[in-house]
Amino acid sequence: MSFVQGLDRYFAVLSNDQKARYLIAKEKSLLDRKIEIADDILQSCHFCERHCGVNRQAKEVGYCGINAISRYASEFLHHGEEPELVPSHTIFFVGCTFACVYCQNWDIANRFVTGTPLLPERMAETITMRNYQGAKNVNFVGGEPTPHLHSILRIMNACNVNTPMVWNSNMYCSSDTMDLLRGVIDVYLADFRYGNDGCAEKYSNVKDYWSITTRNFMSAWQDAEVILRHLVLPNHLECCTKPIVNWVAYHMPNIRFNLMFQYTPHYKAHQYPELNRSLRYDERTRALEIVRDAGLKNLV
């Protein structure tokens, strides 16, 4: 008996319901498959490198404080992003995988905020509306988009406008998350904050920051456009800005590099005297000098 004959015989004994499911299964797209994998991960969550292992579909929550229901704080046309991206339809998800002591979005990033429950099909309709209003892209941010990967993939699947997808992230995603993002993200608008693990652990409560972040930047760099943001922190020019700039200059010299000087001590920064002020003029000058010495030219 040939394979096709065997398949026919198998099909003949299926109920109508099973046949329908079989036919639907045959028509699965790559995004459908990615959603299935994301849903599997959700049951022992490792969307980010914290690897909490909680079953978010059973309403358990890990470090980010988000169960399976994604929530967002706001969405609007954002004119304050990098020039080539604006106006950017920015969706602010609640919750974060980091706990930055100076967080400027602490009101939506901390684990106790609620936000509006997100219906992917409804958000896809909103994306269409924002597209008609002139949005150049859809910008998934937070907080942090990583805990919401399963919902974001569903939004993409329901979208009926052809618009670039922007992943605006701290880049602490797991390898599985980076695999799922491959091929569906057009632009990584990505933070590179710390030049060593010690500063990352002290100020954002994350481990192995350097190896994880550099791994993910390399993955993003091979797959899509990358705009790298480095927020210069007071008193962290030599330990953070310099190693980052040198690494970037060596591994991705033509990257769009956004050296950001707008640090302001928010949230718990007053508990850290070295971070409890804005940048001084000489620190800005030194940061630009580090960039110039490394040969990075493509500044935003």
Q: Which is nearer to ligand SF4, 50 or 136 (CB)?
A: 50
Question: Between residues 43 and 126, which has the closer beta carbon with respect to ligand SF4?
Answer: 43
Distance of CA 278 to the CA centre of its chain: 26
Q: Which stretch binds ligand SF4 (CB under 6 A): 22-30, 48-56, 77-85, 125-133?
A: 48-56
User: Quick check: 67 binds ligand SF4 (CB under 6 A)?
Assistant: no
Instruction: Return the range that interacts with ligand SF4 (CB under 6 A); candidates 41-49, 154-162, 205-213, 240-248.
Output: 41-49
> Per CB under 6 A, which region of 8-16, 62-70, 249-257, 263-271 contacts ligand SF4?
62-70
Stretch that binds ligand SF4, among 11-19, 45-53, 153-161, 288-296 (CB under 6 A): 45-53
Dihedral, CA atoms, 235, 236, 237, 238, nearest 10 degrees? 110
Q: Report how far residue 123's alpha carbon sits from residue 146's, in angstroms, rounded to the nearest whole number.
A: 17
**Residue 251 interacting with ligand SF4 (CB under 6 A):** no
Exactly one of 63, 102, 188, 194 binds ligand SF4 (CB under 6 A); which one? 63
167 lies in the site for ligand SF4, by CB under 6 A: no
The residue (of 45 and 291) whose beta carbon lies closer to ligand SF4 is: 45
Residue from 34, 35, 46, 190 in contact with ligand SF4 (CB under 6 A): 46
Binding residue (CB under 6 A) for ligand SF4 from 146, 213, 216, 241: 146
CB-CB contact of 107 with 134 (8 Å): no
Closest Cα partner for 155 from 124, 188, 115? 124
Provide the CB-side half-sphere exposure for 51 (13 A, CA). Answer: 7
Q: Which residues does 291 contact at the CB level (< 8 Å), separation at least 6?
A: 245, 257, 259, 299
What's the CA dihedral at 9, 13, 16, 20 to 10 degrees? -50
Tokens of 32: 């459908």
Q: Which residue has the tokens 């150049």?
A: 136
CA distances from 86 to 76, 79, 243 (A): 11, 5, 30
Stretch that binds ligand SF4, among 61-69, 158-166, 228-236, 247-255 (CB under 6 A): 61-69
Comparing CA positions, the residue from 105, 107, 39 lying closest to residue 70 is: 39
Is 48 a binding residue for ligand SF4 by CB under 6 A? The answer is: yes
Residue 198 CB, nearest distance to ligand SF4 (Å)? Answer: 21
Shorter beta-carbon distance to ligand SF4: residue 45 or 166? 45
Binding residues vs ligand SF4 (CB under 6 A): 45-48, 50-52, 54, 62-64, 97, 146-147
